[in-house]
Amino acid sequence: MQRRILVVDDEPAVRFGIRHFFEAHGLEVVEAESCREARELFRGYRPDLVLLDYRLADGTALDLLPEMRAVDPSIPVLVLTAHVSIDAAIQVIKQGAEHFLPKPVELPTLWVMVERLLEIQRTRRQQQAQAASQAEELNPFLGRGRAIRELEATARRVLDSDSPVLIQGETGTGKGVLAHWLHVHGARGGGPLVQLNCAGLLPQFLETELFGHERGAFTSAVNRKQGLLEVAHRGTVFLDEIGDMDLQVQPKLLKVLEEKRFRRLGEVEDRSVDVRLIAATHQDLAEAVRTQRFRSDLYFRISTLPLHLPALRERPEDIPLIARDMLARLSRELGRPGLDLTPPAEAALRAYAWPGNLRELRNVLERAALLSSTSALRTEDLRFNHAMARALSPSPPEPRAPACEASELDLTLQEVERRHIERVLAAEGGHVERAARRLGIPRSSLYQKLKSLGLSSKV
């Protein structure tokens, strides 16, 4: 990803020189000439680094630094000034600036410092993302409805068992999240969790992924490969979309479950393994057994402890709570603090059929958050896939269309982006720099979008 810097200085010549230099080094640069512009761009643009002039027409660095730190304290700020003062330097460092440099500064010298700070920033964000992923475990039981509460009670009862678990539910209901929760909170939580999606894998590839192979077992087997079952020893194997598992592989998996033994491809001796199986599918496995697409003995073995994830349309009372939890996560990911729903938008979410379940809800909210100009998402910010809803969920009544042009309901994200850019450009008289500021993106990025979308404007 291209690194981004925000240059805040009230001298156009200074901004031009810095932008030209750093764009030549592969950075995205956006400019602000006042504290007011800097505040807006910092929140919307969320740069990797800020070059900030100490004295501006409507304030100083001491005014901006606390506000920037409150929004994102991980973004380094480098303060430049033509008025060197020891007291001022001490104050800006106390307020959180990384460095305080006197003007004029040699651009190659500045680049060395900027490059080092950007590397520090990249490391900080990696550490933050890792800490967040460890601290923020997704909750598969978010909601207050009866269906989800019964599911949680059942799931807690099977936590410490070693028997296989079969999670069933429509696509997008969160089967993978539930499988992860069962592993982490179960007796094998300290062991490995390995995952494999069985959908679309040819028998040989599926078999070698699960069981591994010896060198020379087949033409392309130039090295020995350890299978996922070995990797998961004393832990959990999660097989997603097990209904798509090829019939040739199914008896070999059954042997693992019944005898705790398996054999690598090209091997003559069995290996012992201790794993717990969690399987998931959106298919009706009982019907698949009836039509001989799935072995009955394997079905009965993996369905010892069945768990059913209800579809989102079956628990509309939970949708506002789930949506706000997703918005809180999106706020952190997108740098849009305070994302929420207006009451009409909440009602629209509850009324929609959600054929894609939680995955579709997340997509609708992310799209609205990216395109909305307000923190409180409105009905007109939402874009539902009504065609899919009619095809996949014809029984529930369709909600009224959101307050937007009917022609926009089935547009792709690129088409929506194109129309929005056209409207902003028209409002700014085709002036790219003003349009880029209004959109909250660098001018160079807007030029790239104009080129890729086939749009034209005046500078």
**What pLDDT is stored for residue 429 in this prediction?**
73
Residues 214, 263 contacting (CB under 8 angstroms): no
pLDDT score of 455 more than 80: no
Rounded mean pLDDT of 130-137? 50
Q: Please report, for residues 251, 275, 277, 446, the alpha-carbon distance to residue 189 in angstroms, rounded to integers and kept in the order given.
A: 28, 12, 13, 47
How many Cβ atoms sit within 10 Å of the Cβ of residue 168? 19
At 358, list the tokens: 């939680």
Rounded mean pLDDT of 119-134? 59
**What pLDDT is stored for residue 123 in this prediction?**
67
Residue entry with tokens 């949506």: 323
CA–CA gap between residue 45 and residue 40 (Å, rounded): 8
**What pLDDT is stored for residue 394 in this prediction?**
40
Hey, which of 28-37, 48-57, 258-267, 274-283 has the most confident mean pLDDT? 274-283
pLDDT score of 406 more than 60: no
Of residues 422 and 347, which shows the higher confidence score?
347
pLDDT score of 235 more than 80: yes
Rounded mean pLDDT of 10-27? 89
pLDDT score of 368 more than 80: yes
Residue entry with tokens 């599926």: 206
Least confident of 48-57, 145-154, 229-238, 443-452: 443-452
**What pLDDT is stored for residue 292 in this prediction?**
94
Q: How confident is the model at residue 301 (pLDDT cuts 50, 70, 90)?
A: very high
Least confident of 46-50, 248-252, 417-421: 417-421
Hey, which of 89-93, 326-330, 332-336, 445-449 has the most confident mean pLDDT? 326-330
pLDDT score of 41 more than 70: yes
Q: How confident is the model at residue 136 (pLDDT cuts 50, 70, 90)?
A: low
Of residues 325 and 2, which shows the higher confidence score?
325
pLDDT score of 127 more than 50: yes
Residues in a beta bridge with 101: 80
Torsion of CA 302, 306, 307, 308, to 10 degrees: 100
Q: How confident is the model at residue 59 (pLDDT cuts 50, 70, 90)?
A: confident
Of residues 408 and 442, which shows the higher confidence score?
442
Least confident of 79-93, 119-133, 149-163: 119-133
**What pLDDT is stored for residue 280 in this prediction?**
96
Residues 257, 277 contacting (CB under 8 angstroms): yes
Average pLDDT value for the chain:
83
pLDDT score of 397 more than 50: no
Residue entry with tokens 């069945």: 306
Helix axes 61-71, 35-45, angle to 10 degrees: 20
**pTM for the full predicted model:** 0.57
Question: Residue 252: how many CA atoms within 13 Å on its side-chain side?
Answer: 21
